[in-house]
């Protein structure tokens, strides 16, 4: 079963892009940072050798294409995937390549020595950021995966380790929130924002959700309300002539209880205005800056209202967490019994040449860049015929 | 000894400002917020009655006039002193008055029932913010004072509970600093800044001290260096054309170790630039905003460099601290064996009329407002002859 290319036969990227080689596996790789529609390439590679001790071989089932994955490929993201010089013995020259993808659901196909708690057929998700999930199969260290409980659907499990985990941890790690407590968030219709709404509702927390005004605001409002949003408001109400009214409304909704957590993925002036709705001892947790503007804050908020500001990055969370904390996170996320994120699966069929597969992947990232996908795209890379 | 005015004889402020009444004590009061040179008044009042249980009577020895005291009188400070309707039985109408002063050293003159750990002659400082220290004598709850160890000089003890405590706690409460670690601060020549330099040096910490450029920069630099500053730098070096050089110098000084604590009392653009010198997982602690500008920060600093921002306010520290923590703070501060802050004493003599005393106090706050005092001013209000 193990097809290993002779190590004295290195192939340059140029070589395989013009003459595709059909092998047991396929990965979506990029030789260097750039426009994903230009640099992404499908690349077949051999079957995996048996796993080394403490390792497992896995077969990827669904690997999401997340917006941050695109930023990684563009070289605009602080986290870089590890450069690989070979894939299961298939060598790359020119310093190696990167495999795309951060998140993914995989099935254990083979278990190495000294592996405990995982067996063939178990489903796992990644706890090591940027491990390169856009491939059909991979060898992984057991400490870089988390076992998925049986009750989780494939679609849910494949998409829970980034956005859902971010939402869950931000609601958990900074303020000890009790049932009935209020949380403010902006960018409330983002993937994380929607997860925040659902998890908060599940915990009995109230959410004050800010979004941009738009033609179909009422539609968006009822969509978010159906997910569990307590209030949905546009940034327009932060304008000087309506702020006082807004403050009264908030006062009424909260019964005057101080709002102690604000989740921010926007920054810029609207975020500064929103700070005025916070109570004493509040925490601002930033996980994005969609406005591409900085956060500007009056110093008095820190000194006299005891505001604390943090950032949140799920990748760092995984780096810092213990095995036990990671296991617990997965169990909690699955235990929430949320609906799967809306998604569609992009299958790269076994029979496609690397050239055809390359075009399919480039086409989808081109569409994603133009915002032509409403749904999350999950890659399903079939194993090409060897 | 106890001279108590008959309670049916309320005196309006108007009344006593034109006909001073000589009594056993004197306070510097203000009937409402306003320009200190207009609203501050000296007011005599009777001897104190014996203390109630859990209380002590004290005689103030030195009560600093701090910049924040001026802001309190102006009504520009979030902490308000408690309004008092009478001073030892001397009644005020029109809703009462405020006694100035937040910090002060006093001597216990009488001890109430159930008071433990304090006896006549002990020296105490205030742990209750805005208790009105600009007076000759007061009755205080024992939980609102901290006993001063014998080895502390009067001048040191009188000025340690605000600036020195702020510096000490900021270096202590946010980052677990080890000998050799680096701290950045701006406004390094402020009273707190100088305390930070000395305490840091005492702990073996290195300080990167930023100040405004000025004609006598070399003089200031050697003054701060003598206090223990490791490096003294002007904000000019943050300019785009010199920032790279600065960064290299900092890199060399720190041996590449990440700077994890930044104490800010300035805010505005120079503070934003300074953030670029911080390492991963750093904490920014703000305790002032001398630029009167907000803090503007790139969101990526929070997310990818894990910056955390806090405020620090010594008043809140005292409100939150346990008795044990307060006792420990005083012992630690005294144990530092720092030099007294440079100060001069403004004595209000026993023989002055309230009118003369009022003018003396108004005169000094006028000079303080113009920056005509290089030194800290300590009020010593003698007890007028009854």
Q: What is residue B85's three-state secondary structure?
A: coil
Spatial contact of A317 and A127, defined as CB atoms under 8 Å apart = no
Q: How many helices (H) and strands (E) does chain A have?
A: 13, 19
Spatial contact of A303 and B286, defined as CB atoms under 8 Å apart = yes
**Structure tokens of A24?**
């047991």
Q: Is A202 exposed, middle or buried (0-12, 13-18, 19+ CB in 10 A)?
A: middle
| Distance in angstroms (rounded) separating the CA atoms of residues B270 and B276 | 10
Q: What's the average model confidence in pLDDT over A27-48?
A: 96
- Can you list the alpha helix ranges (DSSP code H) found in A19-153? 36-39, 67-74
**Partner residue opposite A298 with nearest CB, options B294, B298, B310:** B294
Q: Is the pTM here over 0.95, yes or no?
A: no
Crossing angle of the two packed helices B191-203 and B217-227, in degrees rounded to 10: 40
Q: Do B297 and A297 touch (CB under 8 A)?
A: yes
CATH: 3.90.180.10, 3.40.50.300, 3.40.50.1820, 3.40.50.1110. Which one for B13-159+340-381? 3.90.180.10
Those residues with Cβ within 8 angstroms of residue B134's Cβ, 6 or more apart along the chain or in another chain: B27, B28, B60, B63, B65, B99, B100, B101, B104, B379, B381
Q: What pLDDT is stored for residue B12 in this prediction?
A: 43
Q: Do B312 and A303 touch (CB under 8 A)?
A: yes
Give the single-character DSSP code of B228. Answer: T
User: What is the dihedral angle through the alpha carbons of A309, A314, A320, A324, rounded to the nearest 10 degrees?
Assistant: 120
Spatial contact of B286 and B267, defined as CB atoms under 8 Å apart = yes
CATH architecture of B167-315: 3-Layer(aba) Sandwich (3.40)
Q: Mutation target for A interface from B282, B294, B299, B315: give the one with most A CBs within 10 A.
A: B299
Query: A interface toward B at CB cutoff 8 Å?
Result: 78, 264, 267, 272, 286-289, 294-313, 316
Q: What pLDDT is stored for residue A147 in this prediction?
A: 97
Q: What's the average model confidence in pLDDT over A255-267?
A: 97
**Structure tokens of A8?**
């004295």
Q: What's the average model confidence in pLDDT over A89-108?
A: 92
Per-residue model confidence as pLDDT tens digits over A188-217? 999 899 999 999 999 999 999 999 999 999
**Partner residue opposite A307 with nearest CB, options B287, B302, B311:** B311
**Partner residue opposite B294 with nearest CB, options A264, A296, A308:** A296
Q: How confident is the model at residue A7 (pLDDT cuts 50, 70, 90)?
A: very low
| Distance in angstroms (rounded) separating the CA atoms of residues A299 and A307 | 9
Q: Are strands B41-45 and B25-30 parallel, antiparallel or unpaired?
A: antiparallel
Q: What pLDDT is stored for residue B373 in this prediction?
A: 74
Q: What pLDDT is stored for residue B79 in this prediction?
A: 84
Residue listed under structure tokens 């670690």: B181
- Can you list the alpha helix ranges (DSSP code H) found in chain B? 13-18, 36-39, 67-74, 154-158, 165-173, 191-203, 217-227, 240-254, 269-274, 299-304, 314-320, 323-335, 354-369
Distance from CA of B284 to the nearest CA of A (A): 9
| Distance in angstroms (rounded) separating the CA atoms of residues A289 and A271 | 10
Asked whether residue A12 carries a pLDDT value surpassing 60, the answer given is: no
Per-residue model confidence as pLDDT tens digits over B185-194? 999 999 899 9
Per-residue model confidence as pLDDT tens digits over B49-61? 999 999 999 999 9
Distance from CA of A68 to the nearest CA of B (A): 13
**Structure tokens of B75?**
């009504």
Which positions of chain B have pLDDT values less than 50?
1-22
**Partner residue opposite B308 with nearest CB, options A287, A300, A309:** A309
Which chain A residues are closer than 8 Å to B270 by Cβ? Answer: none
**Structure tokens of A57?**
């071989």
Q: What pLDDT is stored for residue B149 in this prediction?
A: 96
Q: Mutation target for A interface from B270, B291, B311, B318: give the one with most A CBs within 10 A.
A: B311
- Specify the length of chain A in residues: 386
Distance from CA of B303 to the nearest CA of A (A): 4
| Distance in angstroms (rounded) separating the CA atoms of residues A43 and A32 | 15
Q: How confident is the model at residue A342 (pLDDT cuts 50, 70, 90)?
A: confident
Spatial contact of B214 and B190, defined as CB atoms under 8 Å apart = no
Distance from CA of A290 to the nearest CA of B (A): 10
Q: What pLDDT is stored for residue B4 in this prediction?
A: 37
Q: Mutation target for B interface from A72, A270, A284, A299: give the one with most B CBs within 10 A.
A: A299
Spatial contact of A29 and A99, defined as CB atoms under 8 Å apart = yes
Asked whether residue A340 carries a pLDDT value surpassing 90, the answer given is: no
Q: Do A303 and B295 touch (CB under 8 A)?
A: no
Q: Report domain extents, chain A.
A: 13-159+340-381, 163-314
CATH: 3.40.50.300, 1.10.8.50, 3.40.50.720, 3.30.200.100. Which one for A163-314? 3.40.50.720
Distance from the Cα of residue A93 to its chain's centroid: 30
Active site residue B45: no
**Structure tokens of B268?**
């505005």
Q: What pLDDT is stored for residue B386 in this prediction?
A: 54
| Distance in angstroms (rounded) separating the CA atoms of residues B170 and B319 | 16
The DSSP string of B274-308 is: HGGG--TT-EEEE---TT---EEE-HHHHHHS--E
Q: What's the average model confidence in pLDDT over A245-258?
A: 96
A310 vs B375, higher pLDDT: A310
The DSSP string of B18-80 is: HS----SEEEEEESSSS-HHHH-EEEEEPPPPPPPTTEEEEEEEEEEE-HHHHHHHHT-SS--
């Amino acid at each position: 079963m193990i097809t290993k290319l002779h190590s004295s036969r290195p192939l340059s990227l140029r070589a395989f892009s013009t003459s595709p080689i059909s092998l047991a596996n396929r990965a979506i790789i990029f030789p260097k940072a750039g426009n994903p529609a230009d640099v992404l390439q499908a690349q077949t590679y051999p079957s995996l050798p048996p796993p080394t001790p403490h390792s497992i071989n896995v077969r990827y089932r669904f690997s999401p294409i997340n917006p941050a994955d695109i930023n990684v490929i563009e070289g605009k993201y602080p986290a870089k995937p590890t450069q690989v010089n070979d894939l299961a013995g298939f060598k790359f020259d020119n310093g190696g390549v990167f495999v795309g993808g951060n998140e993914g659901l995989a099935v254990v196909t083979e278990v190495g020595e000294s592996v405990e708690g995982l067996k063939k057929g178990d489903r796992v998700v990644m706890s090591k950021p940027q491990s390169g999930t856009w491939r059909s199969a991979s060898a992984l260290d057991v400490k870089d995966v988390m076992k998925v409980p049986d009750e989780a659907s494939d679609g849910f499990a494949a998409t829970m380790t980034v956005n859902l985990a971010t939402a869950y941890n931000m609601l958990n790690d900074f303020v000890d929130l009790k049932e009935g407590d209020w949380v403010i968030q902006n960018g409330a219709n983002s993937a994380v924002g929607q997860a925040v709404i659902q998890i908060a509702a599940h915990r009995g927390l109230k959410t004050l959700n800010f979004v941009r005004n738009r033609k179909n605001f009422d539609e968006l409002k009822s969509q978010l309300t159906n997910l569990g949003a307590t209030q949905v408001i546009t940034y327009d109400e932060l304008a000087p002539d309506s702020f006082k009214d807004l403050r009264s409304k908030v006062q009424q909704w909260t019964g005057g209880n101080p709002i102690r957590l604000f989740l921010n993925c926007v920054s810029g002036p609207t975020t500064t205005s929103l700070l005025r709705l916070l109570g004493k001892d509040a925490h601002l947790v930033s996980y994005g800056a969609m406005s591409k503007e900085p956060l500007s804050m009056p110093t008095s908020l820190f000194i006299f209202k005891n505001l604390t500001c943090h950032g949140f990055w799920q990748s760092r969370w995984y780096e810092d967490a213990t095995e036990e904390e990671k296991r617990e996170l997965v169990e909690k996320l699955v235990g929430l019994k949320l609906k799967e994120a809306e998604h569609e699966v992009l299958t790269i069929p076994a029979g496609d040449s690397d050239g055809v597969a390359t075009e399919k992947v480039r086409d989808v990232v081109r569409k994603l860049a133009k915002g032509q996908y409403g749904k999350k795209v999950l890659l399903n890379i079939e194993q090409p015929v060897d």
